[in-house]
Amino acid sequence: MIKCGLTHSGWYCATHKRTFPVQGELVCCSYAKTQPPATSDKKPDFNSEIKIADYKHTNPYINCVGCSFLLRRFECSIFYHCDDRPRRAKAIEAGCKYQRPKPVVLTEIPASRYLTTTDLVNHTQELMKHLPMNDIDTVVGCARSGLLPASIIATAYGKQLAAYSEKGGLVDVGSGRRLGLLKNMQQERRYKYLLVDDSLAAGTQLAETVTSLSQLVPPSKILTAVLYANPDSDITPNFAYAHYRVPHFFEWNLFNCLFTHEIAFDLDGIICEDPPPQCWKEGVEYEEWLDKAEPKHIPMTEPGVVIISARLEKYREKTLNWLSKHGVRVRRLELWNGEPDARWYNRGAAAWKAETFKKLQQDFGLRYFCESDPAQAQVIAMLGVRVICPQLKKVLGF
């Protein structure tokens, strides 16, 4: 008779006729963990849908927590796949300390919706009502955008705040004077860290952060929360405000996100401030303004940006000098080369921008145009271009 026990391939459970590759003690049932190692030469059953012995060596998202495993979706693989439900229920009825809360998703956001910083604050306040904050010791924000919701949550509930970055690791941001006085008096919580980020696209960053924090505390002491989670990701956070499919259009990181290189930008009103009324006509004052224009949003993208602007071609040198001065790397600069007044009649500037975008789209891998003027944005979208308009706080053309 083959008994439950450790073999060269893992823990063989005779009750379930499966081999579980584990580190540490298996508690799939109270009987199995009391049995001596199996001594039979008969090979265990490898026909298991949860055979993950080598998975942890090829995938950084796996984390052993003593008696069970967390898969890429942060679920316990042993309890999840156990067919003997009464036995499983009995094993965890007292409250398994490794048990994970069921994922919580409050709502769904339509694809291509433009989200503002005000939305982020409001959604954070809604999400934190559903977080087990009494069981949390420290709120950790993923630098940089994750610090926005993390600081709101930590402040609202009087929790320690920390920041995590790939280069700097875990950094204590502080607790404030009043919380600092109570720090030594606080009791140990069920969860050490609540890891917070603004969004989850593929899930790679969140999983790598959990893996890094697991060097400090067991993974069972870590919960994850994001505001906007891509439902197609392999990673499922413990808490999310909404499912929101990629691409994510966020006001707070539009100019420094994963697809910034796929956006062509207007210049005045986007990269620099619009000229004041006294400089609307070309002349001495306008040319002086070209040299002194204040930067507004500087796109950060490695290959450089594509700019399509209705500025006149004769100001190319001044424009390039200004862009260089403010650290804007340029891949392509398209300026108006026709009659100056023709820009403002019969939707001239908007039609030209749409036509120019389509000519450059394939060669430069462009998918969106970022336009400052709401009227022009709507015309460009009508002509078949997907347009991001921060002024309207919308994405048009979908």
pLDDT tens track for 290-316 = 999 999 999 998 889 999 999 999 999
- Evaluate whether 104-250 and 254-396 have a shared fold: yes
Q: What percent of the chain has pLDDT over 90?
A: 51
**Predicted TM-score of the model (pTM):** 0.73
What are 112's two structure tokens? 């291509």
Predicted confidence at residue 205, as pLDDT, reads 84
pLDDT tens track for 42-80 = 433 323 323 333 333 333 333 333 333 344 444 444 444
Residue with tokens 């579980």: 20
Three-state secondary structure of the chain:
CCCCEEECCEEEECCCCEEECCCCCCCCCCCHHHCCCCCCCCCCCCCCCCCCCCHHHHCCCCEECCCCEECCCCCEHHHHHCCCHHHHHHHHCCCCCCCCCCCEEEEECCCCCEECHHHHHHHHHHHHHHCCHHHEEEEEEECCCCHHHHHHHHHHHCCEEEEEECCCEEEEEECHHHHHHHHHHCCCCCEEEEEEEEEECCCHHHHHHHHHHCCCCCHHHEEEEEEEECCCCCCCCCEEEEECCCCCEECCCHHHCCCHHHEEECCECCCECCCCHHHCCCCHHHHHHHHHCCECCCCCCCCCEEEEEEEEHHHHHHHHHHHHHCCCCEEEEEEECCCHHHHHCCCHHHHHHHHHHHHHHHHHCCCEEECCCHHHHHHHHHCCCCEEECCCCEEECC
In the chain, where are the structural domains located?
A: 5-92, 104-250, 254-396
Evaluate if residue 220 carries a pLDDT over 90. Answer: no
Predicted confidence at residue 14, as pLDDT, reads 66
Predicted confidence at residue 282, as pLDDT, reads 81
Predicted confidence at residue 176, as pLDDT, reads 56
Evaluate if residue 374 carries a pLDDT over 90. Answer: yes
User: Which CATH number is associated with domain 254-396?
Assistant: 3.40.50.1000
Evaluate if residue 41 carries a pLDDT over 70. Answer: no
Q: What percent of the chain has pLDDT over 70?
A: 70
pLDDT tens track for 242-289 = 999 999 999 999 999 989 999 999 999 999 999 998 887 888 899 999
**Mean pLDDT, all residues of the chain:** 78
User: Do 393 and 348 form a contact (C-beta atoms < 8 A)?
Assistant: no
Q: CATH number of 104-250: 1.20.120.140, 3.40.50.10800, 3.40.50.620, 3.40.50.2020?
A: 3.40.50.2020
